[in-house]
Amino acid sequence: MRATSGSVALLGLDSRHSGVAARRATGYLPGNLVLPPRLTGRQYLDDIARIRRTGASPEVDHLATELRADLDRNIGHLSLGNRRKIGLIAALMGSPQLIFLDEPTGGMDPLVQQTFRRLVRNSADTGTTVFLSSHVLDEVQHVSDHIAVVQHGAVVATGTVTDLTARLTRTFTATFPSPVRPSDFASVPNVTEVTGGERTNQLVFSVRGESGALFERLAHFRPSDVRGAEPDLEDAFLDLYRTPR
């Protein structure tokens, strides 16, 4: 489709004047995947290989085995998850330099999702750039090197998982040989709250930012146990969406 204005370049190739070359080097799995129902998965993937002019047959069989995809039934008879496997194979085959994946694991069982993560990680490790759009935050957390959070059409935060979770409040529960007063930790940097735990000799600390100062202070009281609850990407995502902008 012709643009009304502006330009797009993929891998340095103009999308309008070098569209064929750009597409040949790009893999894409759309969120709304539509495949020809009367073709088998193998027929469809052979067509894609011919369009791209790549010899993908051995690679297709390998990916199909990895994802447990049935390539010999008509696509119209496959479940949503199995159709997405075909689309994922189409996106990965031919060793593309750039891959776009939109909600890639919808309808797939957990074991296949694990395989997907490994395949995408392998692609990235060999130099392929992978753009993954997903609401499955556990998937994003385990696959992505760099994350962007989009809210109302705008990027509101970027960084690694560590970057995005570092700003959150973490909770530590310390158990002592004998009761310790919360006031003993009132001046510790980054400690926002100290409350009693389930037992009289327990304290619960809320920490926002680096926790080193807390542990230095705790060492003076020789706790018998310290347990932490680290925030994950879902916590960071919810915190960003709750913050007024």
* Three-state DSSP state, 44: helix
Quick: pLDDT tens for 189-245.
Answer: 999 999 998 788 999 998 887 889 999 999 999 999 999 877 778 888 877 777 766
Which of 57-66, 73-82, 143-152, 231-240 bottoms out in mean pLDDT, i.e. has the lowest?
A: 231-240
CA-based R_g, the chain, Å: 25
* pLDDT tens column, 11-32: 999 988 898 888 889 999 999 9
Residue 239, C-beta contacts closer than 8 angstroms, at least 6 positions apart: 167, 168
* Cβ-based neighbours of 91, under 8 Å, separated by 6 or more: 27, 28, 29, 99, 100, 101
Helix axes 57-67 and 80-92, enclosed angle (nearest 10):
140
Judge whether 15 and 53 are in contact, CB under 8 Å. no
Q: How far apart are CA 73 and CA 58, in angstroms?
A: 19
Whole-model pTM?
Answer: 0.74
Tokens representing residue 64 in the block = 């199909």
What does pLDDT average to over the chain? 89
Amino acid making up residue 217: R
Please report the domains of the chain, with CATH numbers, ordered by start residue: 9-145 (3.40.50.300), 164-233 (3.30.70.100)
